[in-house]
Structure 1
Amino acid sequence: MTVLTDTWRWLTDPAHWSGENGVWHRLAEHLQLTVVCLALSCLIALPIALLLGHLGRGGALAVNLANVGRAVPTFAVLVLLLLSPIGGAGAWPTIVALVLFAIPPLLTNAYVGMRGVDRDVVRAARGMGMTGRQLLLAVEIPLALPLVLAGVRIAAVQLVATATLAALAGGGGLGRIITAGFNLASTPQVVAGAVLVAVFALLVEGLFELGGRLGRRRPWEPA
């Protein structure tokens, strides 16, 4: 109970929320890193998955290769990048490691969503004279969108949790609160940092869930 009480005192102390090392500043850094990594991951994974899902060729190999990446710890990738000649302290090693970590769920969900589109609908669209581009944009992607967005949600939540590793490479984010707590031998600060990361991840999960419900709601349905 002492640790929980001291953690609550740390979290409710206004001095820990302001300034360059305060919670709000670290939260903004964490959010920025998450958004950048998620955007880069989507730009890499989604076009490949959507195209392969549309063509129906090569997708299984791409998904299997992406799933192999899940078996490689992000921390190990980060360490290798930091030790490489092109690495070093800073944001880029962390961004590269996190992008590689976020690609598998994006690639897998988008490809599975595309291949899960009803083939009868696809054949009917082709019979109506739709070109491949029209079929992709007007039929397949809209029908696959729920699974695509589920992959984005999974990747976003995983990035929020894993972006704490940025502190190990000299970056910012909520991980700096945890590492500072270890350096100060302050268990309440370590626990407080972990709680902040967990709450942030839950908030991101909740926002995606709310956005998904609003997106599925018809205009005439009550909120």
Structure 2
Amino acid sequence: MTVSGSAAQQAAIPEPDVGRSWHMLLAPLIYLAVAAAMVAYTQLVPLDDIERSALRLPFLARRTWEHIRLVFYSTVLVLVVALPLGVLLTRRTLRRATPVVLAVVNVGQATPAVGLIVLLAVVFRIGFWTAVVALFAYSLLPTLRNTMVGLEQVDPRLIDAGRGIGMSAFGVLWRVELPMAVPVILSGVRTTLVLNVGTAGIAAFIGAGGLGDLITAGVSTQRNLVLITGCVLIAVLAMLIDWAGGVAQRLLSPKGLT
């Protein structure tokens, strides 16, 4: 009986998902290897003067850093606006404003990204911060919508239980609703990040830098290697950020919900 009981206890202990863990660790290494191979190829093959100028390592590093900055600042702006706005729109007093707010936010999502960024550049001026604002307008909807959906999907009985034990409305929001909504909210943030990585490529049209410079230079000068390098680096950056978002989603979600 003792041996049998011990075996049953051991069987009840869930084994770690080794395959998934290895995949999570291996994926970014594969992405980085692809980027490294692409860059190494550009440094080893014969290049003409135009290709050599566009594919110099300092130039690639600078454009990559500019791309990361565009994604970072636009995503931070989305978080600063979308998270509190999503919370407010799920409160009873402001719920009536939801259709109007979503209609306005949908304009940014529905407008073609190139048209939006060029329009803002005409109204304001070309440059980095104009591109950040355009990316913010284009990628606001996923995080805002997921924040609202995550909070609306919280079981009302949990909210009633929190109020029943004397918690304030803010206490219920902070300790019950937001923790339960975290997985859905983080999914929206992850979508916003990937959207921003891809869309930031068009920032080059208004002189905001980024890896889009390689694409525009490759097209305008008919240098396919420059064009392909820009596309590969943007794709790798998007996959790396998506991987990092997935890791953050698993780590930040309340235990038992992942």
- Fold in common (TM above 0.5): yes
Report the equivalent of 1:122: 159
Structure 1 ranges of 4+ moved more than 6 A: none
Aligned residue identity for 1:71: A
After superposition, the C-alpha distances for 1:46-98 in whole angstroms (9 at most, x for unaligned) are 101012224371334433442343211121111111222xx122112211111
After superposition, the C-alpha distances for 1:109-141 in whole angstroms (9 at most, x for unaligned) are 000101111000001111111111111111111
Task: Report the CA distance shift for 1:207/1:10 in structure 2 as closer, same or farther (over 3 A).
Answer: closer
Q: Decide which structure has the larger Cα Rg and report it.
A: 2
For residues 40-119 of structure 1, what are the structure 2 equivalents within 5 Å? 40-55=77-92, 57=95, 58-84=97-123, 87-119=124-156
Q: 1:12 aligns with which of 41, 50, 57?
A: 41
How many angstroms does 1:212 deviate by? 2.0
Q: Is the 8 A contact 2:182 2:252 kept in 1?
A: no
For residues 154-173 of structure 1, what are the structure 2 equivalents within 5 Å? 154-173=191-210
Q: Which consecutive unaligned segments of at least 5 residues does structure 2 have?
A: 1-36, 44-51
How many angstroms does 1:41 deviate by? 1.0
Report the equivalent of 2:34: none
- RMSD value over aligned CA atoms? 2.1
Q: Is the 8 A contact 1:165 1:175 kept in 2?
A: yes
Report the equivalent of 2:213: 176
Aligned residue identity for 1:212: Q
How many angstroms does 1:36 deviate by? 0.3
Q: Percent of counterpart pairs with the same letter?
A: 34
CA distance in 2, matches of 1:9, 1:159: 22
Query: Which has more helix, going by share of residues?
Result: 2
The normalised TM-score by structure 2 is 0.74
Q: 2:69 aligns with which of 12, 29, 32?
A: 32
